[in-house]
Amino acid sequence: MAEAGTRSRGSVAPFIHTLGQMLESEAALQWTADGRSFQILDMAAFTHDVLPQYFNHNKYASFQRQLNYFGFRKRTKRYSRICTFTNPDFTRDEHARRQLIVRQKAGKGGGATTTDLDLDKDWDVQLVAAYIEDCFGQASTG
């Protein structure tokens, strides 16, 4: 039996397993048509409803940091409301490859790396820009 914090050879990391479960059952995120990436379609529902159901928090930045640690890359176009992530070993149809995904060690000091913080900041800016666009768009058409 594996000790706490370790996993046996050939097993999938708990975060990766949970992410797969989320994609099978939640409407706020889905696989892309080719099954090689996944998208977060509704950020409000994802943070308010989905994250607390699977994790002990509702913080998107923490979720994204975990994705970064596991080698996922953000493919989202600038100012898009749909956030897309990819990892060559995390696909819809090749579940066996998921065991190849391992968590990278945190940067020196155990905290988030500059890259992680930049990604979080970039997404926050995108959310604010989308919110402002929604507010002004609705105000000018209403």
Angle (CA) 114 50 74, round 5°: 35
Domains of the chain, start order: 14-141 (1.10.10.10)
Does pLDDT of 33 surpass 70? yes
Closest CA to 41 of 80, 1, 99: 80
Greater model confidence, 126 or 63: 63
**42-96 residue pLDDT tens:** 999 999 999 999 999 999 999 999 999 999 999 877 777 899 999 999 999 999 9
- Reading the block at residue 34, the tokens are 């080719």
2 confidence band (pLDDT: 50, 70, 90) = very low
Measured distance CA(115)–CA(93) in Å, rounded: 30
- Beta strand pairing call for 73-74 and 83-86: antiparallel
- Global pTM reads 0.69
